[in-house]
Structure 1
Amino acid sequence: MRIAFMGSPDFAVPALRALRDAGHDIAAVYCQPARPAGRGQAIRRCPVHAAADNLGLPVRTPARLRNDTAAQDAFAALDLDAAIVAAYGLILPQAMLDSPKRGCLNIHASLLPRWRGAAPIQASILAGDSETGITIMQMEAGLDTGPMLLRQGVPITLETTTATLHDTLAAIGANLILDALASPTPPTPQPDADATYAPKLSREDGRVDWSQPAETIDRQIRAFDPWPGTFTTLAGSPLKILAAKLSTSSGTPGTVLDNTLTIACGHHAIRLTKVQLPGRSALSADDFLRGHPVPPGTVVGS
């Protein structure tokens, strides 16, 4: 089948590789333009761009698609059977949605209609959902509102982080899109009444509010691993929280309760097990406390 692949981050790479390995004719790979990244602000290709180059596939990196008739005409000229979209980062205008013979299929990282939007993996963990998954959706003009073709669920446990769930869902998405192309199924409309939305995240979303219950903060830590990360303030410096465990201890929210970095929450407490100061290596709580004693009664987050 002659297809275009449209994606940018690591999440989309397994699907690109799977489509190529399955023998599909990938006429073009669309992804975000290379941008400055890292401390040195070196120009860096996105993960899909790097993977496409390694596979010898032609890459297109338009900065925009809306109101760009040249880009839309170039897409139409590919004469596609289908376009596969996975976290691309640009909105496709209607002319492009209508161009491929089988339309544009999206690999979405939730069980739609739950968690439409930009950050479905994080939202599912943050909300305490017991399950999420992948939906293959026929794209339309609305934000993740198109009819569903295939869905596959995966459990969320008390150990699940966005990092681990991301990789699991990326692999499921790669397999499920092959099934969708090989065996077309009738589309099922989404029940809009059940829809929820996962807005784009910012770094400030990672700030801990110690008045919240320990279970909520634990989900925040797991949901925001690796990005945007979860942090508090200790002695005037940001302290990134990389891992923690629930505790049944209690006290005034934000107060360190013992010598193992257990911090009281609005209900119960969290024991930090892995932390990081700005510009420093990540450390276990034990190693951190050897160099940075934090006596009981210290208040964090202020």
Structure 2
Amino acid sequence: MRIIYMGTPDFAVPALVALAKAGHEIVAIYSQPPRPAGRGKTLRPSPVHAKADEMGIEIRTPVSLKDPELRDAFAALKADVAVVAAYGLILPRPILEAPRFGCLNIHASLLPRWRGAAPIQRAILSGDNITGVTIMDMEAGLDTGPMRAKHITPIEDKTAGQLTQELAEAGAQLMVEVLDDLSQHPPVPQPGDGVTYASKIDKAESRIDFSRDAHQVERQVRAFNPFPGAFFEYRGERFRVLAAHVEEHGGRPGELLDNSLLIGCGHGAIRPTLIQRAGKGAMSAGELLRGHDMPAGSRIDA
């Protein structure tokens, strides 16, 4: 098939590679424009943009798709289908309708649960046991289109980063299977029940609230690893928690219950096992405590 590929982050790279390996013709790739990054704020292309350059495929990076000339240029590609994976821009109706078979999206949830921007993080935060990817036909609504295929995976104790990579690979293979024979994967309307929305992650959510149940705090740690990183502050310094486990101890929320970084929660306690100080690399709790005094009885900054 002649495919227009539309994606931006690391999540979208595996499907691009898989479709090319499957023999499809990628006629153009759309990705969000390069953004300032690093201390020097130099413009950095998105992961999909970088992969497009590596593959030698035309890359287009419009700031929106509202301009009629941009829409005409999209339609002029005469694609059979557009494949979309975490592109990040709204597709106007003329874009959705331009390819012969429309636009197919790789969405990282089991629709209709977790429509929206942050399905992986919201699934972890909510304590879901399973998640997955859905291949769906795109329409004007937010992730409301009919579904063509699903892949289910257990969440277990995976971080958002681990789950993102797993679902990216699964979605890539599932999209290849769907495009191999669209007739074997007819669109099925989403059920009206079970709809939830995965709102965009606000950085303010990453501050750990130790008044919550310890299991909620542990899910927060996994949901925000690697970004934006769950954190607490102690004596004015910020500490990112990259991994932790729950212990059934009692104690006041935010109180250090022993000399090995066991922190009381609203119910139970949490023991961070992998920590990152500002400007430093990740370290174990033991490594942190060898050079940083955090005695029992002291409290995390409110």
TM-score band by shorter chain is over 0.9
Give, as a single letter, the amino acid of the residue that structure 2 aligns with 1:133.
G
The code of the aligned residue for 2:92 comes to: P
Partner of 1:14: 14
1:186 deviation in Å? 1.6
Residue 193 of structure 2 aligns to a residue in which SS? helix
Structure 1 counterpart of 2:152, one-letter code: G
SS in 2 for 1:166: helix
CA shift digits 1:256-301 (9 cap, x unpaired): 0001100000000001111112112221100100111101011103
- Matched positions, count: 300
Runs of 4+, deviation exceeding 4 Å: none
Q: What are the within-5 Å matches in structure 2 for residues 21-36 of structure 1?
A: 21-36=21-36
Tell me whether 1:102 sits opposite 2:118 in the alignment: no
Superposition pairs of residues 272-287 of structure 1, within 5 angstroms: 272-287=272-287
Residue by residue over 1:157-213, the C-alpha shift from the partner in whole angstroms, topping out at 9 and shown as x without a partner, is: 1x2111111111000011000111112122111113311011111221101111100
**1:165 aligns with one of 163, 166, 186:** 163
Which residue of the other structure, out of 179, 182, 191, is the alignment partner of 1:181? 179
Q: Tell whether the 8 Å contact from 1:205 to 1:228 is kept in structure 2 after alignment.
A: no
Which position in structure 2 is the counterpart of 1:142? 141
Q: Which residue in 1 is equivalent to 2:52?
A: 52
| Coordinate RMSD, CA, aligned | 0.8
CA distance, structure 1, for counterparts of residue 17 and residue 276 of structure 2: 35
Q: Write the letter of the residue equivalent to 1:282.
A: A
- Segments of 5+ residues of structure 2 without an aligned counterpart are none
Identity within the alignment, %: 54
Deviations 1:106-157 (A, max 9, x none): 0000000000000001111111111000100000000000000000100111
Residue number in structure 1 paired with 2:87: 88
- Whether 1:75 and 2:74 are equivalent positions in the alignment is yes
Aligned equivalents of 1:301 and 1:164: distance in 2? 30
In the alignment, the residues of structure 2 paired with residue 275 and residue 208 of structure 1 have an alpha-carbon distance, to the nearest angstrom, of: 13
Q: 2:55 corresponds to which letter in structure 1?
A: L
Quote the Cα distance in structure 2 between the aligned partners of 1:85 and 1:182: 17
Distance in structure 2 (CA, Å) of the matches to 1:130 and 1:301: 32
Distance 1:281 1:155 in 2: 30
Superposition deviation, residue 43 in structure 1 = 1.1
Cα deviations across residues 28-62 of structure 1 (Å, max 9, x unaligned)? 00001111112221110000000011011000000
Q: How big is the shift at 1:18? A: 0.5
